[in-house]
Chain A
């Protein structure tokens, strides 16, 4: 069974500052993928970044980077230079290799203030 834990119900950050959203996971599968999605109030889940369990380097996508610490089973999302439009729910998710289903955490609400 797979489990995702996001311990921060809400986070506040000022515009242009960096913020880290925490995610820990648990799985017995040797090969898996970790995802971060952004969900604005409109409801759509927007893919942000992906990290494979065997990837040697941490994933980066523009202002998003994933701090992957495999031994600690953590996959924290770092958003640099926060923007007002970053205010949304953020979900960490994982998928075992060979499957398409995603297991999600409960999410973290990020609010960016001017």
Chain B
């Protein structure tokens, strides 16, 4: 196990609703990244947080937003859910930005939008 915990593990929401996904990073890691993995695809980078500040963002609309807390845990919020938001959402924590350290992933949250 990596020490990265995501909650909930599964979630079903209705189109137009809002959702919050949570991630507890590995102890000592100050960088958290979020990825969206659609069925049959590789993960796509959503955004990254480093010491509570957004540090980079992928090609996702503003209705995808996030937070990082002083204990380095993080939230991903998605507003106005669309059917295409159905995916596995992965959180990864790492020690500092860049470098040659691997990212440790949580088990993911499977979001289904109906």
Contacts and interface: CB of A to CB of B under 8 A. Distances in A.
A101 B47 CA distance: 8
B11 interface: no
B45 A101 contact: yes
B48 A101 contact: yes
Given A44-B105, A103-B45, A106-B41, A50 B100 contact: yes
Task: Give the interface residue-count category, chain B.
Answer: 20 to 34
A42 interface: yes
Interface in A74-91: 91
A109 B108 CA distance: 19
A107 B39 CA distance: 11
Contact of A45 (B44, B92, B96): B92
A35 B56 CA distance: 20
Contact of A100 (B2, B98, B105): B98
Interface in A19-71: 33, 35, 37, 42-47, 50, 52
13 contacts: A35-B102, A43-B107, A43-B110, A44-B106, A47-B102, A47-B103, A93-B42, A99-B97, A100-B31, A100-B55, A102-B33, A104-B35, A104-B44
Interface of A: 4, 33, 35, 37, 42-47, 50, 52, 91, 93, 95, 97-107
Interface of B: 2, 31, 33, 35, 40-45, 48, 50, 55-56, 58, 88, 90, 92, 94, 96-100, 102-108, 110
Given A44-B107, A100-B31, A103-B45, 13 more contacts: A35-B102, A43-B107, A44-B105, A45-B92, A46-B105, A47-B102, A47-B105, A100-B103, A101-B33, A101-B45, A102-B43, A102-B92, A104-B43
